[in-house]
Amino acid sequence: MKIITSRAFAGIGASLIALACQSAFAQSSVTLYGVADVSVRYLTNANANNDGKLFMTNGAITNSRIGFKGSEDLGGGLKAIFQLESGVELENGQYSDSARAFNRAAFVGLSSRYGTLTLGRQKTPLFDMLGDTYDPLTVGNYFENAWLPVALGAGLYADNAVKYNGTFAGLTLGAMYSFGTNYTATGAGGFSGQVPGHLGAGNMYGFTASYALGALAIGGGYQQNSDNANNKQKIWNANVVYTIGQAKLYAGYLHSTDDTGFVDSILQQRGLVSGTDILKGSGRRDDGPFAGITYQVTPALLLTGAFYYDHMKNAAIGGGATGSGNRYTGVALAEYALSKRTEVYGTVDFNKVTGAAEVELPGRSNQTGVSLGLRTIF
């Protein structure tokens, strides 16, 4: 019979503790990740004097960011997750949002086979659906071309948000409630936190549903934002994507009615700055169909064409007046992969505005952009 001494027992105990720690570490992970995307861009009619502008700017494909994400296996298929992500401007090294350390994501949550529940600052379900599947430009292009989902989606991020996402076979469901969509917002067109005694003021909620069946994917959703005075912006969205060989065909529709002044404040580039020119309760209405196509020419070369349109009514045009107008945007994009993580790209885009939409460009009623860029993912 072998007697285990206290020293041997201590050694066995230390070994067991080490094995337990290794097992615990094996069930947890933290990942540093990011995207470095920058381009050189030429833009016509870039100011009120209609001067052209050559400059370096954040990239057109996905925009630069750096982040941390992690998970811990809690057993029984349940995981704790977190994510912290900040946008970065490569041309000058600044954060994309000086008011927040992590403007793109800051949340913690639980994930299981029944879905994922997260709490914090995060993308809205509308952003998820458009960016992941239904927008041909993935909602990441220059603002000159991404104005439609950005404005009609109320910025596409929300503070103080509780979010659910679940996928069951081909069906993906998303839902969110925010106690206050933007803690930094002040002045006209801003959203902030809820007001004591007024549960509906300052909040946001939305939901989406998307279904994929073979080559066809369809989706839609609704989002409502309320400012502190309980004025509301309501957004409806419907989309379809169909895959034919190496091509994908996109079609979608965004509809917004806005009494908050948010859309006017986001889209204006001249004539409307603040105060009385940004009208609350005006009943601004935007109807925005869009369409596009992507074609994988070779494993390395991807071509994209996209078209966006907005017909607006009751849009602020200055001096307290409103009017109707139209905006048209066309984009051509070519991406060439140098590796699985790095690509070069070129894009040409054109914007045209009429009527009330003329306040949305800084100079003439049209604007053309040409860009060359480089992106790497890590």
Annotate 143-203 with DSSP letters as a single string.
Answer: HHHHHHHHHHTTTSEEEEEEEEEEEETTEEEEEEEESBS-TT--STT---BPBTTBTTTT-
pLDDT at 24 over 90: no
Q: Which two tokens stand for residue 249?
A: 């065909």
> Residue 348: helix, strand or coil by DSSP?
strand
| pLDDT of 7 | 41
What would the pLDDT profile of 199-215 be if each residue is shown by its tens digit? 767 789 999 999 999 99
| 16 located within any domain | no
Q: Which two tokens stand for residue 283?
A: 């009943």
CATH code for position 221 = 2.40.160.10
> pLDDT confidence of 254, banded at 50, 70, 90?
very high
| 3 located within any domain | no
Average pLDDT estimate for 120-149: 91
Query: What residue has token string 């909040």?
Result: 203
| 303 located within any domain | yes
| pLDDT of 266 | 87
In angstroms, rounded to a whole number, what is the distance separating the alpha carbons of residues 170 and 165? 13
In angstroms, rounded to a whole number, what is the distance separating the alpha carbons of residues 299 and 260? 46
Domain count for the chain = 1
Mean of per-residue pLDDT scores for the chain = 87
| pLDDT of 227 | 85
> Residue 260: helix, strand or coil by DSSP?
coil
| pLDDT of 36 | 97
In angstroms, rounded to a whole number, what is the distance separating the alpha carbons of residues 172 and 219? 9
Mean pLDDT highest for which of 57-66, 150-159, 181-190?
57-66
Average pLDDT estimate for 24-49: 89
Average pLDDT estimate for 138-150: 87
| 321 located within any domain | yes
| pLDDT of 278 | 72
What would the pLDDT profile of 58-113 be if each residue is shown by its tens digit? 988 888 999 999 999 999 999 999 999 999 999 999 999 888 899 999 999 999 99
- The values of phi and psi at residue 173, to 5°, are -115, 140
| 131 located within any domain | yes
Residue 126 backbone zone (phi > 0: left; psi -120 to 50: alpha; other: beta): alpha
| 42 located within any domain | yes
Domain that includes residue 246, residue range: 29-377
- The values of phi and psi at residue 330, to 5°, are -125, 140
pLDDT at 2 over 90: no
| 8 located within any domain | no
| 18 located within any domain | no
Q: Which residue has the higher pLDDT, 11 or 247?
A: 247
